Amino acid sequence: MDCPYCEHPVIEGADHCDECGLPLDDRSLPPPQNAVELALLTDRISQFEGKRPLLISASLPVREAIKLLALNNIGSMLVIDKGEMVGIFTERDVLLKVADNLAEFGDKPVRQFMTSQVESLPTTAKVAFALHRMDLGGYRHVPILNENGRPVGIFSIREMLRYLTRVMTE
């Protein structure tokens, strides 16, 4: 879809045009065809902030980080250094960067294996926007940040499936 003001392409469900900064209201979107589409276009990801994300130190050994993923049955943890989020460590990082080399890499710090360019979302983002951004970037986990830039949740594929299941049965 294009911004109705500057005609710059925008991601469906975005609140503002990235080019001109003007607000995009629901009048610029095609009308929802069913209850699921309506929910995707109106619900905010703030509803996913209930479970606090697991925060780990950038110096934590990879072996310990992997144990935490398994013990907590989660797919990602946010990496913090000096009180700031500096990355995300995910099950995909383990598979692609550590894999069969745990004996060699197990004592090395997470900072060497984490994803440092982290895409995040504000609590005000619409579910459709969040899902679209995840699809475009190939992300399975996206941190949700409050107005102060602090992590308050993780928007994940697993949470999205639970959300869709709930919305479809309502």
Lowest mean pLDDT among 11-15, 37-41, 61-65, 97-101: 11-15
Token pair listed for 136 = 């475009």
Tell me, what's the pLDDT at 22? Answer: 67
Query: 15-48 burial, b for 16+ CB within 10 Å, e for fewer?
Result: eebeeeeeebeeebbeeeeeeeeebbbebbbbeb
Tell me if 33-49+120-169 shares its fold with 55-112.
no
Compute the average pLDDT of residues 131-157. 89
Mean residue pLDDT of the chain comes to 87
Tell me, what's the pLDDT at 93? Answer: 95
Lowest mean pLDDT among 73-77, 107-111, 138-142, 147-151: 147-151
Closest by alpha carbon to 128, among 53, 56, 24?
24
DSSP code of 126? B
149: left (phi over 0), alpha (psi -120 to 50) or beta: left
User: How many whole angstroms separate alpha carbon 118 and alpha carbon 87?
Assistant: 6
Does residue 12 contact residue 143 with C-beta atoms inside 8 Å? no
Tell me, what's the pLDDT at 30? Answer: 66
What pTM was computed for the model?
Answer: 0.78
Q: How many CB atoms lie within 10 A of CB 104?
A: 9
With H, G, I as helix, E, B as strand and everything else as coil, classify residue 127. helix
Please tell me the class of the 55-112 domain.
Answer: alpha beta
CATH of region 33-49+120-169, choose from 3.90.1280.20, 1.10.3720.10, 3.40.50.300, 3.40.50.2000: 3.90.1280.20
How far apart, in Å, are the Cα atoms of 35 and each of 1, 13, 31, 88, 170?
A: 21, 16, 11, 34, 9
What are the domain boundaries of the chain? 1-30, 33-49+120-169, 55-112
Chain centroid, CA 158 distance in Å: 11
